[in-house]
């Protein structure tokens, strides 16, 4: 019963490097989203998707790209990492397409940009 | 735009005390959903409750209760007879469901609750 799986769990990057945070869910959820968590800022929505081929921006989309080629996967790409992107990233999924249901979260990915 | 405010950054109480976590929200929609999530020290995010805007009945689940008041745009969470295991960061969240077919789920900044033995 995997649920939402995020990889890697930890990553250290140098400024300017690129990387992809992977997210996969096995619950056949249409709705998927990415959040970042910073001290005192709570969870801020980066991007979300309501199904394969459909993505939209959240509160803090700059510096991040996403795509949704399958229902199961929703990778988050950092094209040129900056120290301001040091954070803990959470992927989440939910049933339906409205984004009004319970979110199931992955365990998080801690990213440090030097 | 939708907004969630959790004004209490940190709360510390002694075990067995009751504690209330405040959540105030802003939305232009009449149809919306409110949530509470718990993040224990281990870091995972755990769903606690979901409430839609048309259901103002208070809910009780064991030691947990939620008070939803549309008149004050608040969805407060009370823990009765707190225990050390209740120590966590608690997040309130809002999803609008009226003017868009795909909603953003927006979180507050969280309240860190510490229960002292």
- Model confidence over A49-77: pLDDT tens digits? 999 999 999 999 999 999 999 999 999 99
Does A87 reach chain B within 8 Å, measured CB to CB? Answer: no
Closest chain B C-alpha to A37 CA, distance in angstroms: 9
Q: What is the pLDDT of residues B29-69, one digit of tens each?
A: 888 999 999 999 999 999 999 999 998 888 899 999 999 99
Residues of B in contact with A41 (CB under 8 A): 109
Comparing alpha-carbon positions, the chain A residue that sits nearest to B50 is A102
DSSP state of A62: T
Q: What is the pLDDT of residues B64-108, one digit of tens each?
A: 999 999 999 999 999 999 999 999 999 999 998 766 556 789 999
- DSSP letters of B29-86? -SSEEEEEEEE-TT---EEEEEEETT----EEETTEEEEEEGGGTEEEEEESS--GGG
- Paired residues of A62 in beta bridges: none
* Nearest alpha-carbon partner for A103 in A39, A27, A7, A37: A27
Does A59 reach chain B within 8 Å, measured CB to CB? Answer: yes
pLDDT of residue A99: 78
Distances (CA, A) of B10 to A3, B18, B54, B109: 31, 15, 30, 11
Residues with pLDDT less than 70, chain A: 1
Contact B44 A107 (CB under 8 A): yes
């Amino acid at each position: 019963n995997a649920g939402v799986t995020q990889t890697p769990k930890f990553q250290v990057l140098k400024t300017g490097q690129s990387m992809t945070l992977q997210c996969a869910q096995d619950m056949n959820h249409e709705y998927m989203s990415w959040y970042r968590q910073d001290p005192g800022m709570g969870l801020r929505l980066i991007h979300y998707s309501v199904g394969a081929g459909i993505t939209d921006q959240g509160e803090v989309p700059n510096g991040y790209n996403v795509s949704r080629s399958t229902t199961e996967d929703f990778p988050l790409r950092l094209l040129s990492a900056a120290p301001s992107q040091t954070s803990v990233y959470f992927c989440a999924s939910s049933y339906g397409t409205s984004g009004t249901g319970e979110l199931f979260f992955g365990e998080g990915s801690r990213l440090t940009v030097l | 735009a939708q907004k969630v405010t959790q004004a209490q950054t940190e709360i510390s109480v002694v075990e067995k005390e009751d504690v209330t976590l405040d959540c105030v929200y802003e939305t232009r929609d009449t149809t919306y959903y409110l949530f509470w999530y718990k993040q224990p020290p281990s870091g995972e995010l755990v769903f606690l409750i979901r409430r839609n805007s048309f259901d103002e009945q208070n809910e009780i689940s064991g030691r947990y209760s939620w008070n939803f008041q549309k008149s004050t745009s608040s969805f407060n969470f009370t823990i009765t007879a707190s225990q050390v295991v209740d120590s966590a960061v608690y997040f309130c969240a809002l999803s609008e469901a009226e003017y868009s077919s795909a909603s953003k789920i927006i979180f507050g900044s969280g309240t860190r609750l510490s229960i002292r033995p």
